[in-house]
A and B are shown apart, each in its own frame.
Chain A
Amino acid sequence: EADIYQTPRYLVIGTGKKITLECSQTMGHDKMYWYQQDPGMELHLIHYSYGVNSTEKGDLSSESTVSRIRTEHFPLTLESARPSHTSQYLCASSEWGQEVYTFGSGTRLTVV
């Protein structure tokens, strides 16, 4: 039973479109994360949040933005999608003081 949900699972869109990838968790976790994963590659942290109204950029530079208005919700937005944004995006959460992450099933984004 998934406690962290990502929608959509798959998305194919045209260049220049604005998109929002949704991530919600029902565990009340303070910390949330977005990772980008190219096929056959490791995960790279692109955004994280300590809690409501907290957002930070991760190790990998990304043109995406995030917001954290509610504890359970951590959406990722691309204002103008490009083919270079084609990737899988994984959302995760954890409790403060714990480093055990729960991952969502991911959104596989293709920009054509």
Chain B
Amino acid sequence: AQSVTQPDIHITVSEGASLELRCNYSYGATPYLFWYVQSPGQGLQLLLKYFSGDTLVQGIKGFEAEFKRSQSSFNLRKPSVHWSDAAEYFCAVGYSGGGADGLTFGKGTHLIIQP
């Protein structure tokens, strides 16, 4: 069964500093990988996705992520965070075979921005 691990429950970063959120997955086939962001009381918004091809993917709001098959990782990065980036971030893995049985999500990383 597929699984997603986000080892950091909380991360605190100063505004303007760089950010990296870690994500490791366990999956037997070629994964589809996603990062979503959730603001308080809201649904999830897609930041970026990886299906195939270039392992460095660009997303919205200045985020990027790099797929490293050898490390089973898909870490999210941003060179300079803004106070508005404070939110919950979820990594997710999907089935590349096109099935309808849903994405598997990590437990999330809560990002706190210090002024």
Contacts and interface: CB of A to CB of B under 8 A. Distances in A.
Contacts of B104: 45, 59
Interface residues of A, number: 28
B100 A100 contact: no
How big is the B interface, by class? 20 to 34
Given A33-B102, A45-B101, A50-B100, A100 B107 contact: no
B9 to A, nearest CB: 8
Nearest to A106: B43
A88 B98 CA distance: 27
A58 B101 CA distance: 7
A106 B107 contact: no
Interface in A71-112: 90, 92, 96-97, 99-106, 108
Nearest to B101: A48
B106 A48 contact: no
Interface of A: 6, 31, 33, 35, 40-43, 45, 48-50, 56, 58-59, 90, 92, 96-97, 99-106, 108
19 contacts: A35-B102, A40-B108, A42-B90, A42-B107, A43-B44, A49-B100, A90-B43, A90-B44, A96-B100, A97-B98, A99-B49, A99-B94, A99-B103, A100-B34, A101-B44, A103-B36, A103-B43, A105-B42, A106-B43
